[in-house]
Homo-oligomer: A and B are copies of this chain.
Amino acid sequence: MSKPLILVSNDDGITSSGIRKLIELMSTLGEVVVVAPDKPQSGMGHAITVGDTLRLVKSDLFGDILAYECSGTPADCIKLAKREVLKDRKVDLVVSGINHGSNTSISVLYSGTMSAAIEGAIEGGPAIGFSLCDFSADADFSHVDEYVLKITRNVLEHGLPTGIALNVNFPPKQNENLKGIKICRQANARWEEEFDKRIDPHGRNYYWMVGNFINHDKGEDNDEWAISDNYVSVVPCQFDLTGYHAIATLNEQWDI
């Protein structure tokens, strides 16, 4: 049986240690091709490049592994990989990450890591975004190997339901071992920003956005709960945003 073709991307950029870890792990499971941003693209959400050009440049960062750095967003990377780099081949799996920082709960919307995975799912194949809930550039990834492999093997074996990408988050490295994997829903939480207003050397105002994460969710079946209890969280994410329950409500209430 031929080895699966695994496309790797991320949003922290091609030089981050998280993508190196992911490439190393995926190489044990299949043939790896990398198309990743040439600079950090955190917080890019599902942005694509529509009014500007894109660059795609071969990279020798990973030895024999075919790799390209791309000037665009994570979603651009997946599109360019599928239509240009791998246009005559079938990609068996798209993986993104390992992100330096949490993408639990509402952060899935802002996440470049997850936009690459969701773009993979839109194209019709299985896709996984991996994130470590530790923002530091030199984060310790040593505890995640076993779980990245276990989750990826399950996805390669069983596929994923149509229209679903996985949002996988790992707790930061702690003294005790991870407790296991929990399949979760997205926690009902949000970012409540403050703006740090400053004055530049030319006397003009500017702002830094500072996020405070507010968790409203008391449930024990969501990703925030799983991470806080030292479990790996896996949330199946869909890109059909329709709130089906609201269709009947609007039809009843509205005078149209």
Name A's B-contacting residues (CB within 8 A). 40, 42-51, 53-56, 75-76, 79-80, 83-84, 106, 108-110, 115, 118, 122-123, 150, 154, 158, 160-161, 163-164, 167, 180-181, 183-186, 188, 190, 193-195, 197, 204-209, 234-247, 249-251, 253-256
Contact = CB atoms under 8 A, between A and B. Distances in A.
- Copies assembled: 2
A42 B84 CA distance: 24
Given A45-B47, A207-B80, A236 B246 contact: yes
Given A164-B243, A209-B48, A247-B236, A118 B109 contact: yes
A75 to B, nearest CB: 7
A43, A49, A122, A245 interface centre (most CB from chain B within 10 Å): A43
B47 A183 contact: no
A204 B241 CA distance: 39
Nearest to A163: B243
A256 B54 CA distance: 41
A218 to B, nearest CB: 16
A55 B197 CA distance: 10
Contacts of A48: 43, 45, 110, 209
Contacts of A246: 160-161, 164, 236, 238
A237 B245 contact: no
A81 to B, nearest CB: 11
A154 B253 CA distance: 8
Given A47-B110, A53-B207, A109-B118, 8 more contacts: A42-B50, A45-B46, A55-B204, A84-B207, A109-B241, A122-B190, A183-B254, A185-B240
